[in-house]
Amino acid sequence: MKRLLLACTLVASGATHAEFWDGNKLLQALNGNHSEQMMAMGYVVGVADAVRSRDWCPTSPAITAGQITDLVKITLERTPSIRHLTGDTLVSASLNVAWPCANNRGGRAL
C-alpha cells in the first residue's frame, strides 16, 4: 500500500486540472445501485484501456473487467487517504501495482 500511495502522490503532483470523478465519487458509485455500478465499471475499464501497456501490463488476456473493477474498489476501500485524487490516477496506479510493466518494475509505479 505504501507503494500505491507513493505512486498516486507522484502522479497527482503533476495533475492540477479537475476530473469528472475522484476516488470518493468513484467508490460511492461502485457501492451504489446497479446503474451507478455499471457506470463506474465503464469508467474504470475505459481508463484501464487507455493506459494499458503504458501504466500496466496484464499478465493474461483472461483478466476481466470485473477483476479490474474489484481491484480498484478494494484499493479505494483500504486506502481512504488517497480518495481525494483523480479517478484516472487511482485506477492507473492500482493496476500498475497489480500488473506493472517490465520497464516500471522496481521504479516509479506510473
Supply the pTM of this predicted model.
0.77
- Tens of pLDDT, residue by residue over 38-97, are 999 999 999 999 999 999 999 998 999 999 999 999 999 999 999 999 999 999 999 999
* DSSP-assigned beta bridge partners for residue 86: 22
Quick one: pLDDT at residue 22?
Answer: 96
Separation between Cα atoms, residue 46 and residue 88, nearest integer Å: 9
Q: How many CB atoms lie within 10 A of CB 6?
A: 14
For the chain, domains (ranges, CATH) are 20-104 (1.10.890.40)
In the predicted structure, residue 27 carries a pLDDT above the cut 50: yes
